[in-house]
Amino acid sequence: MSAQLIDGKAFAESLRQRVGEAARSFAQAAGRKAGLAVVLVGEDPASQVYVRSKHKATIDAGMESFEHRLPADTGEDALLALVDRLNRDPAVDGILVQLPLPGHLDEQTVISAINPDKDVDGFHIINAGRLSVGQDGFVPCTPLGCLMLLKDRLGDLSGLEAVVIGRSNIVGKPMAQLLTDANATVTIAHSRTKDLPGVVRRADIVVAAVGRPEMVKGDWIKPGATVIDVGINRLPPEPGREKGRLVGDVDFASAREVAGAITPVPGGVGPMTIAVLLRNALVAAHRNEGLAAPANL
């Protein structure tokens, strides 16, 4: 039997519409638009594409977008001075520093300089701490997007067995925390896990965030499980093609024969990340103005 497709693109579109409506109400109530600042250092082509799409999405949602492009040789002092200015600018509700930074800049130092209440990426150590003790803060966009897709598909996650493959600070660990908070029973797997197929086979929910193309095979999946594929990997181009295919960390063809539901790549988790970023920025704006954010965000 073929799994149902979890349409992240459609879900992200509906979230962006809700954000757009809420952004209009916010502008009326606050007398200004919500504002998101994005800082890009250097000319990494993938980062340029991401920053462009974040800028467009922010404008489309009826929010103010402040773009700061700095040369690749920008020193740490200059970057920290910009972050400080953005921290103090009342028109800026959210600050995102596009990663990776050029090698001479220490990412942790820069992220730690962002006011945690404007850290809409949720990467600041204060926000990681807030998530781990169950306080309101900002949660990294990709895992929060995955949780939204899971709740939309499954409703209550209480008591379900979840396996998260990957333990990075930006995806795996916050994902495991969110699932634990949603009362799932969570296993975190990683490169040292013994018998990964056996561990994955126990799971009602599988979240793969590994960065290895098509690693998770269909015969690892428990029949009927819900599979969230975070991976974005480009395969080498086939003969005569300029670009290789984009694939996830899950072998989609075999997994869809066994799973109950699965996210495709592309069109699954990917579109959720920017939609959740806009959502986080708008929540930040409400908090900064002492307003309650709409419950449907």
Q: Would you name the residues annotated as active-site residues?
A: 54, 98, 121
Does 189 help bind ligand NDP (rule: CB under 6 A)?
Answer: yes
Burial of 2 (0-12, 13-18, 19+ CB in 10 A): exposed
* CA 183 remoteness from chain centre: 21
Question: What is the β-pairing status of strands 246-247 and 233-234?
Answer: antiparallel
Does 25 help bind ligand NDP (rule: CB under 6 A)?
Answer: no
| Least distance from ligand NDP to the Cβ atom of residue 73, Å | 26
Nearer of residues 54 and 118 to ligand NDP, judged by Cβ: 54
Q: How far apart are CA 146 and CA 8, in angstroms?
A: 9
Does 170 help bind ligand NDP (rule: CB under 6 A)?
Answer: yes
Segment interacting with ligand NDP, rule: CB under 6 A, options 131-139, 169-177, 178-186, 198-206: 169-177
Residue 116 gets which letter from DSSP? G
Does 177 help bind ligand NDP (rule: CB under 6 A)?
Answer: no
Does 210 help bind ligand NDP (rule: CB under 6 A)?
Answer: yes
Does 165 help bind ligand NDP (rule: CB under 6 A)?
Answer: yes
Nearer of residues 92 and 228 to ligand NDP, judged by Cβ: 228
Inter-CA distances, 92 with 65, 112, 139, Å: 9, 17, 19
Residues 228-247 that bind ligand NDP (CB under 6 A): 230-233
Q: How far apart are CA 115 and CA 273, in angstroms?
A: 21
Does 122 help bind ligand NDP (rule: CB under 6 A)?
Answer: no
DSSP 186-245: EEEE-TT-SSHHHHHHT-SEEEE----TT-B-GGGSPTT-EEEE---EEPPPPTT-SSPP
Nearer of residues 94 and 248 to ligand NDP, judged by Cβ: 248
Interface with ligand NDP (CB under 6 A): 142, 165-168, 170-172, 189-193, 196, 209-212, 230-233, 269-270, 273
